Structure 1
């Protein structure tokens, strides 16, 4: 065989070179051509690796969940009530669209409504002057019955229009509020790694429970959601509410910024306006907070959380009677009463010196925070032996609460005399505060 490579070979058989003989390129063929197959192979490997990595990322990428789509059908058992049922459906659809927890589908309910996550079927019938509304929720894809119930709306001399409004308000809250049926169904079916809407639902549930650990987990979920989607208004609003709880200047400033970001994206969201109201309270801007809370109420008058938020802001501003009225309005549906509405009533009872009522109401408020402190303070004022146990629960949640108590109260903008009275009750329960006036604590208020 010629070392120059000029021997005869079958097609497809590469020439064999003696071991130890230096390799030289054939005349007219660039030297790099011998390495071109290696380059191509390397590039192919890189492409395959990148494709696998991309596929893995897409497969493992967190799901950014969206609010569920809901179709609604309303009918009457009595043909004479068909017109009234149709008008009630229109009011109900309007009420549901005011909630951010779901999206109302224009697609009619039926076997082909595959894009709808839930079907809500409602039967409307009369019981004398009263109205009974039977409802059921069916899963869109499987057709499985998930939940059913009956709501009774008393006439009490109301006009037909007022009755229909009551039916729409009752049903919309039952279905779409923070404690509503659809919200609970969504939380039950989503995975722990999912982001987006489910994070907002978890955050609202954690805040409603007053559970510090759940609130912390929800905050991380919201942070990840905003990293993936910086313009997620509901996530920014929920994180603003959580951040404002920290009661320090840095957290308050961030809470305000998050709320402003959310307003810039979705100013017509009741969630966003509630978050802005809470952030403004923490920043000492109670007048602005009242404006934002009232905007939220105008955007969604059927959301009990909105009424509870406004009640809390009114209480912070010193409008006691209005705060109590709004808290009562938030509690119209017994199974949807927001935690904050009960807390407002407990705080007002404490403000009036009704320690027993304050204690009973505070015990109905889930979780800790201000509610936990109020429980201990009310029992302290009563001289109850249970006060020490309640105080130990406060210390377990906030080991430094005695040094940060005033700052935490200032974050809610409660009146100085009320804060002083709560501090007195905590002292009687066994708390040890440093002697200091409240003047400096309220210096930031404008």
Structure 2
């Protein structure tokens, strides 16, 4: 192929990919495409995997786990869901393009015998371009491509898509292989980031500056999300010594990011204030900066900075803090196992996103094959198993409890280990033991709002109204970040006392199609207020994600150990909204 042909081929590649994406989005948005939400999700998954060059790795198992949320124990030989749903999607596509979609600029097909979509589009008058993945070698595969009379279809492979988009197939495979284990080499393993605290001042304020440094280190060290050190008094910092060797079992290339919290004491807002910067030690880039002022203005009383120190520690190392968020962003662009999977899980849990929880669980499970004694991974996996369990999943709960117990044994000073144990014990019905674990987690890190929020929620739904609300309000004092569990607890309290308008306002803040409990409360509050349109919208969102959702509502509250009084109040609102419970639900 000469230069001219190469340029023409590249241009066709660019046009072909954009055409595929446009047609896929158009089709998914077309109400005349009579497909269920599950089928639309399946179609998007198959197209995305094709464009990323991963069609060869798409199997019934991966579809069941990644798309339909089936557990990792899924057996396609026992459960035919994938075969049935793919067949129904294929029929829906055929019906659409044979009726209302005849004038579509591009046709999407699902050949029998494999999960590779095929795209046929007009390339000009009397011609067509067929976009195909590598040929199928599976038994029973049928090639339904048709040649246009005036021009032979040109096959464009997905590897060229990656090149056109500026991504190589190798890079895409690396992203996918990190979680699934399809790489031929050990993946990167990340550990939690390091924060080096460096407080500098004029000699006259050295004593107060040292006290401030100690306060910052103490506050940051309470968070399980980071490791904290003071700045060595030398020109060069041995970051290898700081990050340490975390490999165990199999040698892996660990990676850790190091940040410096540089504080200038007495340089801001008078002699009692301080300015701070968060610096990436790999690039020497200043990522964030700010100014804090001691309320008393006393430069010699470092204790007066306590409120500011606590606020700064939360802003840096909290579950939605600066360093935590930066690490989560790095994980998206440069995936890894270990701590990176923990960040994925934290994001999924904060959003109550079940699809993301499935991806996080896969990543965490993969991490344990390399580091079976990583307490953070064990605790995170336990929490995801509990949060992702549907109904009363005794198998998931039993495993979560074992993982959490192991995490607390390995890291007895970790608040996250005890928080995971709290969630697992509560799911298993061991409520009093769960509250003991939760209080232990809160005592280990009283600055972690997420622990207080989760503990408050569990106390509230089990009937401990007063204590649950108190913890929720305490966790909600940090106005910069919203703790879902705290807002949900306060919404439940408003609903319980008949303040339905405020309850509805709060759950609207948390509105998410995948958050079953939030939608249940939204339906109930709207029902109590007579807002039938909003209640119906919320019910439709649930129906799109949960089959036979009416029968799930009671089980959801029962599985979460709602007190009978609270469950009855919510059920009354659901009935007013038009939910019809069967006698056996």
Q: Identify the residue that residue 378 of structure 1 maps to in structure 2.
A: 525
Q: Identify the residue that residue 281 of structure 1 maps to in structure 2.
A: 426
Say if 2:198 and 2:230, in contact at 8 Å, map to a contact too: no
Q: Say if 2:559 is the partner of 1:411.
A: yes
- RCO higher in structure (CA 8 A, sep ≥6): 1
Matches for 1:224-263 after TM superposition, within 5 Å: 224-245=366-387, 246=389, 247-248=391-392, 249-263=394-408
Which range is displaced more, 146-155 or 223-232? Answer: 146-155
Structure number, greater radius of gyration: 1
Q: Identify the residue that residue 41 of structure 2 maps to in structure 1.
A: none
Number of aligned residues: 378
Q: Does the C-alpha gap of structure 1 residues 281 and 93 become closer, same or farther in structure 2, counting only changes over 3 Å?
A: same
Give the root-mean-square deviation of aligned CA atoms. 2.7
Say if 2:269 and 2:293, in contact at 8 Å, map to a contact too: no
Task: Work out the CA distance in 1 between the residues paired with 2:292 and 2:573.
Answer: 42
Q: CA deviation at 1:419?
A: 1.1
Say if 2:198 and 2:231, in contact at 8 Å, map to a contact too: no
Q: Does the C-alpha gap of structure 1 residues 427 and 80 become closer, same or farther in structure 2, counting only changes over 3 Å?
A: farther
Q: CA deviation at 1:199?
A: 0.5
Q: Identify the residue that residue 308 of structure 2 maps to in structure 1.
A: 167
Q: Say if 2:232 is the partner of 1:74.
A: no
Per-residue deviation, residues 339-358 of structure 1 (Å, max 9, x unmatched): 11111111111111111111
Per-residue deviation, residues 67-112 of structure 1 (Å, max 9, x unmatched): 1121111245x77654333212211101211211111134427751
Q: List gaps (5 residues or longer) in structure 2.
A: 1-181, 243-257
Q: Identify the residue that residue 53 of structure 1 maps to in structure 2.
A: none
Per-residue deviation, residues 204-259 of structure 1 (Å, max 9, x unmatched): 11111122221221111111111222212111211111211313222222221221
Say if 1:304 and 1:337, in contact at 8 Å, map to a contact too: no
SS class of match (2:480): helix
Q: Identify the residue that residue 308 of structure 1 maps to in structure 2.
A: 453
Which range is displaced more, 377-386 or 144-153? Answer: 144-153
Q: CA deviation at 1:188?
A: 1.6
Q: Say if 2:314 is the partner of 1:179.
A: no
Q: 1:147 aligns with which of 261, 281, 288?
A: 288
Q: Does the C-alpha gap of structure 1 residues 154 and 58 become closer, same or farther in structure 2, counting only changes over 3 Å?
A: same
Say if 1:281 and 1:411, in contact at 8 Å, map to a contact too: no
Q: CA deviation at 1:58?
A: 9.3
Q: CA deviation at 1:180?
A: 0.6
Q: CA deviation at 1:426?
A: 2.2
Instruction: Give the structure-2-normalised TM-score.
Output: 0.60
Which range is displaced more, 335-344 or 395-404? Answer: 395-404
Q: Say if 2:189 is the partner of 1:64.
A: yes
Task: Work out the CA distance in 2 between the residues paired with 1:366 and 1:110.
Answer: 51
Task: Work out the CA distance in 2 between the residues paired with 1:235 and 1:328.
Answer: 29
Say if 2:520 and 2:553, in contact at 8 Å, map to a contact too: no
Task: Work out the CA distance in 1 between the residues paired with 2:499 and 2:191.
Answer: 45
Q: CA deviation at 1:137?
A: 1.0
Q: CA deviation at 1:150?
A: 3.6
Q: Identify the residue that residue 484 of structure 2 maps to in structure 1.
A: 339
Matches for 1:393-404 after TM superposition, within 5 Å: 393-404=541-552
Say if 1:380 and 1:427, in contact at 8 Å, map to a contact too: yes
Q: Identify the residue that residue 360 of structure 2 maps to in structure 1.
A: 218
Q: Identify the residue that residue 24 of structure 1 maps to in structure 2.
A: none
Q: Does the C-alpha gap of structure 1 residues 378 and 68 become closer, same or farther in structure 2, counting only changes over 3 Å?
A: same
Q: 2:435 aligns with which of 267, 287, 290?
A: 290
Q: 1:83 aligns with which of 207, 216, 221?
A: 207
Instruction: Give the structure-1-normalised TM-score.
Output: 0.78
- Runs of 4+ displaced beyond 6 Å: none
Task: Work out the CA distance in 1 between the residues paired with 2:579 and 2:483.
Answer: 29
Q: Identify the residue that residue 428 of structure 1 maps to in structure 2.
A: 576
Per-residue deviation, residues 242-281 of structure 1 (Å, max 9, x unmatched): 2113132222222212211212221221011001111111
Which range is displaced more, 60-69 or 162-171? Answer: 162-171
Q: Identify the residue that residue 225 of structure 2 maps to in structure 1.
A: 101
Matches for 1:5-24 after TM superposition, within 5 Å: none
Per-residue deviation, residues 406-433 of structure 1 (Å, max 9, x unmatched): 2221232221121122122223323222
Q: Does the C-alpha gap of structure 1 residues 318 and 95 become closer, same or farther in structure 2, counting only changes over 3 Å?
A: same
